[in-house]
Amino acid sequence: TTYISPNKYNLAFMLEHSTWYEHYRLGSQENERPQSLNFAPNMGMKLGIYFGWRWIFLGYTFDIEDLFGGNKNKVDKTEMSLNIYSSKFGVDLYYRKTGNDFKLRSCRGFDLASPFKEQDFNGLQSKIKGLNAYWIFNHRKFSYPAVYSQSTNQRKSAGSFMAGFSYSQHSIYFDHTKLPGNIRNDLNSNLRFNKVKYSDYSIGFGYGYNWVFKKNWVSNLSLLPGIGFKKAKIDDMQYDDSHWIKDINFDLITRAGITYNNSKWFVGASLVMHTYDYRKTNLSVTNSFGTLRIYAGFN
């Protein structure tokens, strides 16, 4: 208890504001000519209400634009997650389905007559589902729940090495015919695909640190890089064939947070980012997604 003190309350109530972020980069190289396209939608903002019993929190989030009737052209998006933060280990289960409200943010390697400007693009969709599991070695002094689930209190600064395993499935649908004409006509053949589907198996080793910089205040930063083995299938619209590719790449899970918790009241913010990287000479896909949460509640 010199480093970690338990929470003496069983019930909790919390309000939360969350912001979704996602980004996709498609790249290829053909005849020593690299090209890349970067897509990202506008950040989505939600309000949530949660009730907790000990270490279980259940809640529901609402799209802010829906509440005020400002989202007339709503696209179908889904995010479901289950996060377990215990003293010794953690588990993340998630499912994400994006809409088709992306924007083409930037591009490189194209012969454009005029400077590029961001444009709406409804030809990209993706589905991601996965599992992350990790073990915390120094669990007697280092507490993830103190920052990310407010079920304990970190009293003195401490860090810990972590080891983890993750598995995820990614399906990315891409319609290059909806690109602007000057980009579409100059597009490498490797980027003229319809669908990329790959499975990712990753083993990681990283480190996290809780810094108690003032009484009842704690901040955390943790990085869990991993070596991922990817098994991918690319369906090519132009040649009507498919081929399997196996490769090893790097993935990264980043967590950062800050919390004030006096055992009765708590307030804070946290960021969890996932980055998956698939690279071959002729095609690369990097997709990142994450959630920024700002919350307040009481026990």
* pLDDT tier, 240 (very low <50, low <70, confident <90, very high otherwise): very low
Least confident of 56-60, 227-231, 239-243, 292-296: 239-243
Q: Is the pLDDT of residue 293 over 50?
A: yes
Q: Are 30 and 14 in contact (CB under 8 A)?
A: no
3-state secondary structure of 224: strand
Rounded mean pLDDT of 176-202? 86
Q: Is the pLDDT of residue 237 over 50?
A: no
What pLDDT, in 10s, does the model give residues 195-220? 888 888 899 999 999 999 999 999 99
Task: Give the predicted TM-score (pTM) of the model.
Answer: 0.84
Q: Is the pLDDT of residue 106 over 60?
A: yes
Q: For the chain, what is the mean pLDDT? A: 85
Q: Are 178 and 123 in contact (CB under 8 A)?
A: yes
Angle at CA 288, nearest 5°, toward 287 and 289? 130
Distance, in Å, from the CA atom of 14 to the CA atom of 51, rounded to the nearest integer, reads 6
- pLDDT for res 38: 93
Q: Pick from 261, 262, 231, 260: which is nearest to 248 by CA?
A: 231
What pLDDT, in 10s, does the model give residues 120-166? 888 888 889 999 999 999 999 999 989 988 888 999 999 999 999 99
What pLDDT, in 10s, does the model give residues 6-49? 888 889 999 999 988 889 999 988 777 788 999 998 887 889 99
Distance, in Å, from the CA atom of 156 to the CA atom of 280, rounded to the nearest integer, reads 45
Which residues touch 35 (CB under 8 Å, ≥6 apart)?
Answer: 27, 28, 29, 107, 108, 109, 110, 187, 188, 191
Q: How many Cβ atoms sit within 10 Å of the Cβ of residue 145?
A: 20
Distance, in Å, from the CA atom of 294 to the CA atom of 271, rounded to the nearest integer, reads 9
Q: Is the pLDDT of residue 261 over 80?
A: yes
Distance, in Å, from the CA atom of 276 to the CA atom of 288, rounded to the nearest integer, reads 6
User: Concatenated DSSP letters for 279-294?
Assistant: E-SS-EEEEEEEEEEE
Q: Judging by DSSP bridges, how do beta strands 89-97 and 33-40 pair with one another?
A: unpaired
- pLDDT for res 270: 94
C-alpha to C-alpha distances, 168 to 34, 101, 131, 185, 199, nearest whole angstrom: 28, 23, 6, 34, 6
Distance, in Å, from the CA atom of 42 to the CA atom of 20, rounded to the nearest integer, reads 9
Give me the torsion for CA of 35, 36, 37, 43, rounded to 10°.
Answer: -170
Q: Are 225 and 257 in contact (CB under 8 A)?
A: no
Distance, in Å, from the CA atom of 148 to the CA atom of 270, rounded to the nearest integer, reads 7
Q: From the DSSP assignment, how many helices (H) and strands (E) are in the chain?
A: 3, 17
